[in-house]
Each structure stands twice: as C-alpha cells, then as structure tokens.
Amino acid sequence: MTLPTRALGPFTVSAIGLGGMNLSHAYGSPPSAADGGRLLNQALDLGYTLLDTAALYGAGENERLIGRAVMYRRAEFTLASKCVLDMIDGKRGLDGSPAAIARTLDGALERLGTDHIDLYYMHRLDRQVPVEDSIGALVRAKEAGKIGAIGLSEMSATTIRRAHAVHPIAAVQSEYSPAVRNPEVAVLDACAELGIALVAFSPVARGLLAGAIRDDAYAEGDIRRAMPRFVAPLLTHNVAIVAEFDAIAVQAGLTPAQLALGWVLAQRPFIIPIPGTANPAHLIENLAAAERPLAPDLVAAVDRLLPPGALKGARYTASMQAQIDTELLPDEELA
C-alpha cells in the first residue's frame, strides 16, 4: 500500500509511523515474540515505513525483536532508536555522557543486528551533562557511519536550539495529542523555524483517545497505574470528556483513534504521529487517518472540547517528570 508521506530529516516516511514500545513493555503483559514479529511484518506489508524503538524498551528486547523479525526487510523502512535512557545495573537510568551514549549505541547495533541506525535520538536530557557534549558524541557516531541523523526527545525549545547549533537536528519527539498540548508552548514553532520534524508519540493519549480506557482496572505492570490523570478520581473527570470526544468521532464516521490521529496530522505538515499497538486490527485502523484528512470544522470541534489543560492530573509521575525538559502549559498540574 502506498501511503501519504512526510519528511523526516533526510528521509521520506509514511505519514504515520509505528512506535514499538507496546510490543515489549509499559501497558501490561506484552505479546509473545512471535506475535510481535508478525505485527511488525504486517506493518511493513501495510505500508508503514518508520519503525521507532529505544534501548529502554523492554530493557533492549524491543530492539532485539526488530532485529529478529524485520531486519531482513531493512530496505523497506527507516529505523529510529534512542539512547541516554537505558538500563543501568538492572534499573532504568539516565546518562547523557559521551561514553554512555557510545556504549548504548554499540549495544543497540548488536541487538538490532545492523551496523547503522537511520535516526538516533537522545531519549531525555541529562541535566548533569551539557547537551553540546551529548550531541558531540552523536556527531562522532554519525561520522563513523553508525547513525544517519540526530534527534531529541522531550526537549524544550531552548535545548533544541542549543543542540541544533552543534549539529542540525532532524527530529524532535514529544508527546502530542488533542489531550497533551505541551509542544504548542514553544517546540512546534522552534521546529518550524529550524526545519525539524516533530514526531508525536502517544498521539492517542496512551489509549485514552482510542476507546481503550473507561476505568483504572489496568493490568499488573501497566505504567498508567502510577500516572495521576489515568487513575481515579481524576480519571472520572477525564473519561467524561473523552465520552464527548468519542461522540464527535462517531458522528464523523471515524473511530476515536482516527479522530485523534487526524487532529495531530492536521496541526502542522511536519508532524509524524507514531502510535503503538499490539493489535493487528489497529494497524489498519490507524493508517486510515492518514488517508482521510480531517475537515477544518472537525479539527475545531476537537479544539473546543479539549483546549490545552482540559484533562485533570499530571501526565507523569514526579520522578518521570524530573527527566522532562519540554515546556509546561500555563498552570499545568504536576504530581
């Protein structure tokens, strides 16, 4: 299938990519490796040409899964992964030092079974290391042929400009959906000015805008159990708003996920959402959003229902928020 495309640095990719995290951790028990492999191959068959992973996902298992399942189809997709966040001594750790970046990258190449990653992101900002030093390590990796382009994730406009002054940044990854509007504070304008793609992760708000959440009866190990906006009593308020969102989608002949993805795509021409899923049917459902642009009145209806800050509760736990550099919304709630 030939899908609409968008520019991602030097690459041209499907207007909707696939985030890999769901296949290895975060939302309860992940699918088996066999099922995950089948889903990745189905995604390529359908026309997805951007696969996004990270060293952190499943403590390296997501990179291994991609390596085993689809690396034989390497010419069919743009591969993105991330460093700085990694497993350190068996625990999630943050280390933006050049030495740590080099170690994580070499480990990623081994796990993926390749000698080159197309787009390599700093997953988070390590405030103990000047971003210029971290970018310098990625520049050296690019010069060595190990990576093709450099990206940042959850970084502020100020940090983006500092990094871009060292080496052109191809992409900035941030959480962005009708329910999470932080990039609108400054990041979107910085990306537009500097010619950087915005890769929107969690574009269906971790399932909230995909008809997947009605209460907080999450499975063991689901990260939403600790996120204030995803648990009662705040979730009760949020689900009431989502019911209205769902009604807008039904009236438009869309699924809630398609409405959310269509809204994201309508914001700027350089935005590429990367919804994750472990459900093969959702792969097909999500792609339809790229093929059917939202009418302006539908985008406006979503904006009226979900202005910035409409949901109650912090989007991250306090420890996770401490690693976020992206600007806060005015009066944004923190855990």
Burial status of residue 318 (CB atoms within 10 A of its CB: 0-12, 13-18, 19 or more): exposed
Q: How far apart are CA 159 and CA 164, in angstroms?
A: 8
| Positions marked active-site | 57
Amino acid letter for position 141: A
Q: How far apart are CA 44 and CA 49, in angstroms?
A: 7
Q: How far apart are CA 270 and CA 188, in angstroms?
A: 9
CA–CA distances in Å: residue 103 to residues 77, 87, 97, 134, 145: 25, 12, 10, 13, 15
Sheet of strand 271-273, all strands in order from the earlier edge strand to the far edge: 18-19, 50-52, 78-83, 117-122, 147-153, 171-175, 197-201, 271-273
